[in-house]
Structure 1
Amino acid sequence: MNNWDDLRFLVALSKTGTMTAAAKSLGTNTATVSRRIERLSESLGMPAFVKTSEGWRPSEAVASLIQLAQSFDGELQATLNSQAVDSDAEPVTISIGSLPVISALVLFPGLKQHGSRLSGVKLNFSDRVFKEGLGEHDIVLQYARPAQGRIIARKVGSMSYQLYRFVDTPAGEDWAGLGEGHDDAEVMRIGHSTFGRAPRLRVDSIMALYRLMQTTRLPGPLPDLLAESDPELVPLDPTQPGNMQECWLFFHESRRNDPGIRRAVDWVTHCFEQLNTVNMPGTTKI
């Protein structure tokens, strides 16, 4: 590969998984991305990417090259942010991919309460549910420890869920739950076991599920923090402890010295720690 600019196209497509998203991130058009990737494949003598049901995935021919390019890109961004974060320049932008419920109940409230920790940093939030890896994000928050790779990961909290019902509506045979893609989650398994059937109604997010439960008065799984803010909700079985899920944060190892990343990570960690002081020590009840 004689054109180093091709690395930008490799990294963009590997992060986004689609030609359209890669083009948007590069400020170009889909045809240009397709043409550059095709030219690179021709120079390699084999496809640079393989089309899958989840999007374009790098082939073995470029996997090591992409890792090298991502490390260089991360170190370059860290250097640029080191110069900008404490200057009069525009705030550095950090992209956070998170489960919507974490954003709604932990991160967004933390902007008002602990925003002073983000001096020189501007945050972009986006929902991330089933995807793996960092993708287009600088920082990712997810349940369970991430797969090993060239990342730095830390546990930031434990999240408590259980089945809830409305005080004015005895639980019947039906319940509301999350989409089928969430059926492996322990709290959904508990719902299947408790009611002996699949949910009557399903939605794709916890916040939508809460609104659905309010409308239908059906019981369903909710984070403790959300349910405890609604006096109409009570645990379906008060004798059962909540189901705890670990929440992990991770970012690429090349960004370890990036002051923008450090401030964002410190802010996220502080958001969870402040919830810990309100709830049980060492536990974030969400």
Structure 2
Amino acid sequence: MFDWQDLHFFLAAARLGSFTAAAAELGVDHATVGRRVARLEASTERKLVIRLPRSTRLTKDGQALVAVAQAMEAQTSAIVRHLRGSNDPLQATVVVSALPVLAAFLIAPSLPVFAQAHPEIQIVLSATSTVASLERAEADIAIGFVRPQLPGRVVRQVGDLSLALYTSHDYILQPVEHWRLIGFEPSLAHIPQQRWLDEFAAGRPFALRSNDVVTQAQGARAGLGVALLPRLLGDSDPGLVHVKTHPTPLSRKLWMSVHGDLRQSPAVRAVMDHLIEVCAALPGTGDHRR
């Protein structure tokens, strides 16, 4: 008999295409994934993975096992969600996946109030720009820009992440035609924020590109250029000046989703209600057409 956890590691490696990516997702080191997969191969007496320098490839036996194991994983996750979604007052840990800027500047600062009202509930806050899989129990609640379309999820819009241009007190004195922009790295050229910036730049150069809005804010505060930032971050920073401009910068809708099996959990329900309340107070929420 094999260890189910070994199969869990194998599925992650098969889905992501490398031990390194699987290790990052699972929060372990590369060697642990390799060791777990090797144990599974030994227990099943089958070669499942071909190890390449920077990736992995499944053998025919590996492909066959993935097809069966994915169904097992889905059933196991459904059982876990059912148990966690039951009206069990002892359920006290809720995992929330949220965009980093929301996690740092909105949700975390609001938690002391929540903890006073619900001292029995512990929140695990996962700050990530990727879409968490509620089906694989990566999170109980997810908040992000993407509206999930997967069956079984309960989804609602909880607010708008309003954006604006910001720069330093000194930099704003420079002529507009000499401004340089701060934007996102090339791999994120497709996102609405960068498309808006490219149009606004009108050929003016970018002084900094980063995938992290906190880094962009630091660059703007230092006088490097003009950045398009969430008002949640920019309005509260005395080192930044809100640049009024036309066209008005865009706003991104925020979607909260929870798996239907967990919606009735008292702890999950309490966290959802709290997140709905704090997101409704975001600067600019309700100012834009939906």
TM-score by length of 2: 0.73
Following superposition of structure 1 onto structure 2, how do residues 1-286 of structure 1 map, counting pairs within 5 Å?
Answer: 3=2, 5-6=3-4, 8-14=5-11, 17=16, 18=19, 19-20=22-23, 29-38=32-41, 47=48, 59=63, 62-63=66-67, 65-76=69-80, 78-79=82-83, 82=86, 86-87=89-90, 92-130=92-130, 133-134=133-134, 136-169=138-171, 170=174, 171=176, 172-195=178-201, 196-197=203-204, 199-230=206-237, 232-237=240-245, 239-273=246-280, 275=281, 279-281=284-286
Change in 2 beyond 3 A, CA 1:56/1:120: farther
How far apart are the structure 2 equivalents of 1:110 and 1:56? 45
**Which is further off, 52-61 or 111-120?**
52-61
Change in 2 beyond 3 A, CA 1:258/1:114: closer
Provide Cα deviations, 1:156-198, integer angstroms capped at 9, x if missing partner: 2221113233453234241112222322122211211222255
Offset at residue 141 of structure 1 (A): 1.9
Offset at residue 218 of structure 1 (A): 1.1
How far apart are the structure 2 equivalents of 1:150 and 1:64? 21
Identity of aligned residues (%): 18
Task: Structure 1 unaligned segments of length 5 or more: list them.
Answer: none
Q: Is the 8 A contact 1:50 1:59 kept in 2?
A: no
Change in 2 beyond 3 A, CA 1:132/1:110: closer
Offset at residue 145 of structure 1 (A): 0.9
How far apart are the structure 1 equivalents of 2:152 and 2:40? 24
Tell me how many residue pairs correspond in the alignment.
Answer: 270
Task: Structure 2 unaligned segments of length 5 or more: list them.
Answer: none
Q: Is the 8 A contact 1:151 1:253 kept in 2?
A: yes
Change in 2 beyond 3 A, CA 1:159/1:49: farther
How far apart are the structure 1 equivalents of 2:232 and 2:213? 12
How far apart are the structure 2 equivalents of 1:30 and 1:173? 48
TM-score by length of 1: 0.74
